[in-house]
Structures are given as C-alpha cells and as structure tokens.
Amino acid sequence: MKSLGKLSVVARLPQPIGRLAELAYNLWWSWNPPAQALYRDIDPELWETVNHNPVKFLRQVGQTSVDRAAQDRSYLTRYTGVMDAFDAYMRPSRIWYQSPSGQPDLATIAYFSAEFGLHESLPIYSGGLGILAGDHCKEASDLGLPFVGVGFLYPQGYFRQQIDANGRQEAIYEKLDFSEAPVRPALDSRGDQVMISVDLPGRTVYAKVWRIQVGRVPVFLMDTDVERNAPADRELSARLYGGDVQMRISQEVVLGIGGVRALRALGYRPQVWHMNEGHAAFLQLERLREYVEEQGMSFAEALWAVRGNALFTTHTPVPAGNDAFNFDLMERFFGDFWPRLGLDRERFLDLGRFQNPWGPQFSMTVLALRTAAYANGVSKLHGEVARRMWRSLWPDVPLGEVPIGHVTNGVHTATWLHPELAALCDRYFDFGWRTALDEPATWAGVDRIPDAELWAQHQRARRAMLELVRRRTARQLTRTGATPAEVAVAARGLDPRALTIGFARRFATYKRATLIFRDPERLKRILNNPDRPVQIIFAGKAHPADEPGKALIQQIYQLSRQPGFAGRILFVEEYDANIARHLVAGVDLWLNTPRRPNEASGTSGQKASLNGIPNLSVLDGWWCEGYNGTNGWAIGQDGDYPDEATQDAADALSLYDTLENEIVPLFYDRGPDGIPHGWLAKMRTAIKTVAPVFSLTRMLKEYCVKYYFPAARYAQRMMTAPVARELARWEHQVRLGWPKVAITAQVTLTSGSATGPTAAALPATVKAIVQTGPLTPEMLAVELVYGTERAGALTETQVVPLRLTGDQAGACIYEGEFGPIDRGVVSYGVRVRPHHPELPVPFILPLLTWA
C-alpha cells in the first residue's frame, strides 16, 4: 500500500467522566492518590507503561476501556468525589495565607530554579534540588501563596540511566513529546503564546514559554527549541546540566534574564524574587537593567531597589560546586550589557568577583549574595558552613553575624507519605490532621495505631517495593543479555523477610556510597547471618561527566555479583521519583553516609522517617537537627575529624558496630505474635519527631516569616516612597565619610576597676567615644558584641545597642551594660556600623569599625 499519511486515534471521553482531561493538566493529581486511581483503574497495565502520565494515558487508552469506566457506578462515585475535592481545592473558602493583619498583601513570589522535580512523568530534574523545588511549589499551592515558578522545560530532560553488563552507567537521552505531557503553551493577556528573547554573543536567542499547573501555582518553563533559533541554540535548553561551560553560562543567561522577561510578558510584577541556588542569579542583572533603563535610576539606586526584596538560597557547601565563570567569558557575554547598567568592566566584574584557589572568577553565588539582602542555607549546620565559606565578603563581621541564615529543608507530606499509611492516619488521627501537618500534636496520633496494623501496612509497602525492584532488575538483565535462568532468579530475588537497607541518592564521591564495603568480610557476615539476614538496595545516578561517581556505581554493581554479596546487594537502575516513593516507604532502614559537613541538608531521610523508616546516618545536614537519640541511629561523632582517612575509618567502625549490636537485634526481636514491637516503637518515634518538623508546611511558613514577608514589606515601601534614591544618597555619604569614623571604648566593672577578660558573673558597663567625622549619629549604630569564641571565630553572638548619652570635645559618647552571663570565658568588642531605618538587614554594607 502507498500510505497517504497517518492518523492518531484518541479515545473520546464519555460525558460522565469528561473532566479527566482537565484534571490531567493540573499536577494536583500527583499528590492525590484517589485522582491517580481514576486513570490507573481504567487500564492498570497502560498506566504503568506511560510512567503514570495521565495526558499520555488518555492519548493511548482504548475507547472500550473508557466506556466501561463511564458505565461503572462505583467508578463514577469515586470520580465525583475526586472532582468535588479538586474543585474545593482550587476554589477554597479558607487558606493559610489570607493577608491577615500584620502580613503584607503579597502580589507575587517568583521562584527561579534550574530544575523542578514535580513527577516522574516530567523528567526535568536530576536530584534533591529539583525535588525540593517541586515540593516547594506544591506546598505554596496548599498554603495559598501567590507563587509562580520559573525554569526550563528541557526537551531531553535529565538522562535515563542504563547499567550495562559490566556495571557501567550509560546516559540515554529521549526527547519529551510535549503533546503527551501535562504542559501547555503559556498565554499572555491577549491569549497569545509567549516568546521571549535574550542576547548572547553575536546573536539573539528566542525561547517559548510553557505552563505547568501545580494545583493553584503556575510554573513557567522556557524552551529554546524553536524555529527562529539556529540549530545550536535550539539545543541550548535540550538537557539539564549538559554541555560545556559556554552552554552552562548560556543556559543561566536564559534562565535569569529570560525568566524575568517571561514574567513581564505574562503580566507579573513580583514583590519577592527567590533564587533557588546560583544558577538563576543573572535575574538580578536584568532587574537592575530595568530600573536603570526604564525608570531612570542610577546603578546605585537600582541596586538598593533590587536588594531588599530578593532572597538567595544556597545548597552547595563545597566551593568548587558553586558556578563561576572566567572574566574573559563574562566579557564575551556581558560586554554589551554592563554599559546599560552605567558600569565599566571592573565595577561590573566586582559584582561577582571571587578569588578561587585557581584564580579570580565571576561567582554566581557572590553575585547573588551582593545583590540580595536575604540569604539562607538549607539546614542549621549548612548555614554555619555557608557563613564560613563566604565570610570574606564581610571581613570584619563576626562569623555568627554573617548575613546568611538557614531554613532547614522539609518534604511535601502528601507527595511522600505512603497512601496506605495516610489511610491509617485518617482512621486514627484527629479530624483535620491534613491541615495541621507541622503540629507535633497531629503526629502524636501514630501512637493510637495498633502495632499489628502498622506492621501489616509496612509489610505491604515492602512487598510492593520488592516487586518493583525485581521487575526493574529482570528488565535490566534481559537487556544486557543475561540467560533466562538468571532473569528468573532476579525475578524472585531478595528475601521478603530480611532486614532491608535502602541507599538511594545522587552518586557523588562525598556521599561515600561504598563506605559500608570498607571491611568486606565483616559486611558479608552481617548480610549472611542465617538467622538474621540483611540486604541492601542501592539506587542513584552520577552526573554523566562525573567519572569518579560512575566508578562508584560500577564498583557496587560488580560487588553485588561476587560470592557473599550476590543476592544480598542490589543496584537498581534508573532512579526516579517513582522508585524513590517505593524505597522510602518499603525498606526497613535508611542509610546515609556523607562526608561531614558536605551534605547541605538531604531530604530522602526525611521522606523515609515520614513513613516510619528510621535513619542510620552521619550527623550531617538535617540529621544534626533531626536525631534525638531515640528516633534512629547516628554514625560517627557530632564534630570534625583530623583528616579524611581517620573519618572514614571511624565512621565505618561506627556503622558496623551499630548494625551488629543495635539495629539487627532490635529488628529481629519478635514477640509471640511475630511482630517486632521494639522496632515499631522506633518507627513511631521517627514519625512523631520528623514528620511535623521536617514538613514543607513548616519550611514554607518559616520562609514566609523570615524572608518573604519582610521582603514584600520592603517592596511596598519602595513603591510608596523614593526609598532607593534616599538609600543611594545615604550610602554615598557613608562611603565617603567612613574613613574618618573612629571609635575607642572602655569596659569597666561595677567596682570601678578596668578589665581585661572579665569574670563572667560580674556586671560591667561600657563607654564608647565615637568620632563621627562628616556623618551624623543618626547614620550610625554603636554596639557592644560578646560571645563564646570557638576556633578563632565568635559564635553565639550577643549584640547590645549602646545609648547616645552626650558629647565630649566634638565626639559622641555612648554607654551600655553587659547582659547576664551564666559562665565561661567571654570575648567582647565594641563597634560602630552604618545605620539607616530602611535597611533590610544590618550588614548589607560590609562597613564596620571596631574599637
């Protein structure tokens, strides 16, 4: 036959279930299992084949199947309930954010991220950063925040992982068919599709803007694969974290500058701008350009305008992990841009200048820190690490006061709580528990779940996880040429009764995936105890360019085939959100072995404990805050080691001892009913202590109080008064006059004797004499600072403002007193710093003079 063309035949949805198509384009279904079941129950096999993508499902499902569902009374009852719940969610009568008294009336929070991990059907994420961004959007929707996401819709996404017969990771890229994904073109106020452009060296690059609806929150994603672009530029946004340094800077120009232009084209005027990692920091340059070119401000005025309502979240505790570009590359990309800001080359490069060990570069993190008033790490420990890393930007500020705070990460409960465990919570928790996820009292209800029911639920989750892992393993072996007998063994592999440990995360060397293999013979004895067997499931991807990370995967895969490990160690390929959901609910113990303090936060362990899976982890990232001695186990010490070899040896010994002497005996200690009651007590404690504190609900409310609301208030003042011009004039005066500011001080005991280091229990008074030069007292803040000194840095800082009490020979006199001190040796000092009532944070200018 000579073909005249092709037709795509799509089932017509009968009227009774016609809104399934509408629901498919709102990712609300992704965290609502009853909504997912509406698609799955029409054709369970197809639902798995399309990787739980309802848009693709509806394009492939047969007419007979949908007609049968539309005639099923039970199905129609469930359909009606889901659609009623969806409508109530989209048009709520009450939400957490309702502009109450004392909170600003937010216009829009714009959240920029290089990746969004919303669901496995949208492979535009690589790991924890993207999953966090996706959870952030879902929780913003739940809380009713006026929130929009901005990023890339990578046509080839992040790579699919295949493991070959030798255990070598292969990266497979497949083009995403947007017509089969829950995405639609973004439309402007006239109903036209939005296309933006940015200038790159020697050409203009265009990007089409797409929209993903995440509950009430839109996420706008750019794609450069459009006809107006040259072939190379059509590939610019093809892959997440692909290409060389020129590809990376091009992507970040499009993300930052293009992202701002996309929001403008869509009619958004955000009050708060949130950069999730440094990839998006160029957005501050575009905002500066807008103020300079479009509102006629000087650069100094524009800088004040963009600072006070911008937040930067850093996730990288290793200097080399922060994006930085050579100056000549910056000159190629921004040589035509900095004159539009009223800057010369050196002043422009100063915005991101950082001295790396290999030379000066333009750091995206430094750009963000110098142009945003607010900055945070993603755990308490990471906040401390970040302050140490970047303290050189504030050289005279005590370490504890370096203006980088922290908000510890959390997880979106509805996405990661196993549906059957959620059903138990519905039965035994107080009514309305889903609206109080950050309240410890909510999760105290887990004590009311009978042991038998909680254990049975976990056993079912474990069986489902094992079945998924077996299917993936059998498929992998079939592809790599294994014999039918080997495939059959894999399909029955793993012991459903054995203590099962999960280790699943990005394979980077600092995560030490092979630490547990440090003493192979001891590990074999642990795994192969005939009465108390143990097995470990590994999963995770290494970046395609990370050869050491890929070598770790290969090492584990090859070990898994050796005598003593075969059948007890398994590596599962193609780690994604689907496997993650099964693992964090189906294993018995979650293992995490990063090299402290390189884990910024980590959230996989939070997901595990949400499901009652205790953690066995190094005290790094979130686990420093989460571990309380009863809700899991710690590896190693809560502190630093003299060197990496000592750390590895000590941590491995701690890991083996804890497994042998505490974890394995507790898991296998069964009552007459065959239930491990002691283990279940550990599971309950994990849920009660982790679920409320490390929820996205708590996290996002903390972002609101610490950063979003103050930034929005600053933005409102900027709209109602010439604050930027006033602050620019003030800064100019301060910088000119600061060399003439001087301070001397005296600390005196109440007995009148002068002091060196004072006895801690004795009260003391402080007198400071300040030469203000051409500045006025209103432009200065004089403060007593004291605290405990550790490793040469002042921590646990206390700040006491000193009072202006008079003048003496043209100088100003300030006085004050030490606050109460319990004990110990206290370091103290007296300082003067610039002050203005409109400053968003005290040290936004790194000017400080100490007595």
Handedness of CA 437, 440, 443, 445 (dihedral sign): negative
Model pLDDT for residues 586-634, shown as the tens digit of each residue = 999 999 999 999 999 999 999 999 999 999 999 999 999 999 999 999 9
591: Cβ–Cβ under 8 A, 6 or more apart, which residues? 501, 502, 503, 516, 536, 616, 617
How far is the C-alpha of 490 from the C-alpha of 471, rounded, in Å? Answer: 8
Q: Which amino acid is at 709?
A: F
Q: How many CB atoms lie within 10 A of CB 423?
A: 12
Q: Are 591 and 632 in contact (CB under 8 A)?
A: no
pLDDT at 299: 97
Phi, psi of 408 (to 5 degrees): -70, 135
How far is the C-alpha of 484 from the C-alpha of 412, rounded, in Å? Answer: 41
Q: Are 332 and 381 in contact (CB under 8 A)?
A: no
Which of these, 654, 704, 545, lies nearest to 126 by C-alpha position?
Answer: 545
Indicate whether 148 pLDDT > 90: yes
Which of these, 836, 770, 754, lies nearest to 803 by C-alpha position?
Answer: 770
pLDDT at 822: 60
Indicate whether 164 pLDDT > 60: yes
Model pLDDT for residues 435-464, shown as the tens digit of each residue = 999 999 999 999 999 999 999 999 999 999
Model pLDDT for residues 576-599, shown as the tens digit of each residue = 999 999 999 999 999 999 999 999
What angle is formed at CA 683 by the lines to CA 679 and CA 684, rounded to 5 degrees? 120
How far is the C-alpha of 741 from the C-alpha of 839, rounded, in Å? Answer: 20
Question: Mean per-residue pLDDT for 671-685?
Answer: 98
Handedness of CA 793, 795, 801, 802 (dihedral sign): negative
Q: Are 606 and 409 in contact (CB under 8 A)?
A: yes
Q: Which amino acid is at 286?
A: E
Give percent above pLDDT 90 in the chain: 84
**Coil, strand or helix at 447:** helix
Measured CA distances, 161 to 116, 234, 478 (Å): 19, 24, 15
Q: pTM for the complete prediction? A: 0.95
Model pLDDT for residues 169-206, shown as the tens digit of each residue = 999 998 889 999 999 999 999 999 999 999 999 999 99
Q: Are 65 and 11 in contact (CB under 8 A)?
A: yes
Q: Are 305 and 718 in contact (CB under 8 A)?
A: yes
How far is the C-alpha of 480 from the C-alpha of 162, rounded, in Å? Answer: 10
Helix or strand run (H / E) with residue 157: none
Q: Are 162 and 243 in contact (CB under 8 A)?
A: no
How far is the C-alpha of 485 from the C-alpha of 444, rounded, in Å? Answer: 49
How far is the C-alpha of 753 from the C-alpha of 768, rounded, in Å? Answer: 17
Handedness of CA 667, 668, 671, 674 (dihedral sign): positive
Question: Mean per-residue pLDDT for 473-482?
Answer: 90
Indicate the Cα dihedral angle 438, 440, 442, 447, nearest 10°.
140
Indicate whether 152 pLDDT > 90: yes
**pLDDT tier, 686 (very low <50, low <70, confident <90, very high otherwise):** very high
| Structure-model confidence comparison of residues 793 and 743, the more confident one | 743
β-partners of residue 374 are 311
**Angle between helix 299-307 and 723-737 (nearest 10):** 110
Report the Cα 849 to chain-centroid distance in Å: 36
Q: Are 107 and 271 in contact (CB under 8 A)?
A: yes
How far is the C-alpha of 125 from the C-alpha of 241, rounded, in Å? Answer: 10
HEC per residue, 474-522:
HHHHHHCCCCHHHHHHHHCCCCCCCEEEEEECCCCHHHCCCHHHCCHHH
Q: Are 667 and 679 in contact (CB under 8 A)?
A: yes
pLDDT at 80: 98
Q: Are 443 and 436 in contact (CB under 8 A)?
A: no
Fill in the DSSP letter of residue 449.
S
Which of these, 211, 646, 613, 187, lies nearest to 417 by C-alpha position?
Answer: 613
| Structure-model confidence comparison of residues 193 and 719, the more confident one | 193
Model pLDDT for residues 66-102, shown as the tens digit of each residue = 999 999 999 999 999 999 999 999 999 888 887 565 5
pLDDT at 723: 87
**pLDDT tier, 752 (very low <50, low <70, confident <90, very high otherwise):** very low
Q: Are 419 and 679 in contact (CB under 8 A)?
A: no
pLDDT at 418: 98
What angle is formed at CA 296 by the lines to CA 294 and CA 300, rounded to 5 degrees? 115
124: Cβ–Cβ under 8 A, 6 or more apart, which residues? 115, 116, 117, 130, 151, 152, 153, 154, 157, 158, 221, 240
Model pLDDT for residues 233-259, shown as the tens digit of each residue = 999 988 888 888 999 999 999 999 999
Phi, psi of 203 (to 5 degrees): -160, 170
Alpha helices in 204-297 (DSSP H): 231-234, 245-253, 259-265, 283-289, 295
The mean predicted confidence, pLDDT, of the chain is 93
Q: How many CB atoms lie within 10 A of CB 774?
A: 12
**pLDDT tier, 750 (very low <50, low <70, confident <90, very high otherwise):** low
Which residue has 């609502």 as its token pair?
32
Question: Mean per-residue pLDDT for 281-301?
Answer: 96
Q: Are 138 and 116 in contact (CB under 8 A)?
A: no
pLDDT at 824: 64
Question: Mean per-residue pLDDT for 495-507?
Answer: 96
Q: Are 751 and 769 in contact (CB under 8 A)?
A: no
Beta strand 589-592 with 615-618 is: parallel
Indicate whether 490 pLDDT > 80: no
**pLDDT tier, 753 (very low <50, low <70, confident <90, very high otherwise):** very low
How far is the C-alpha of 228 from the C-alpha of 182, rounded, in Å? Answer: 25
**pLDDT tier, 758 (very low <50, low <70, confident <90, very high otherwise):** very low
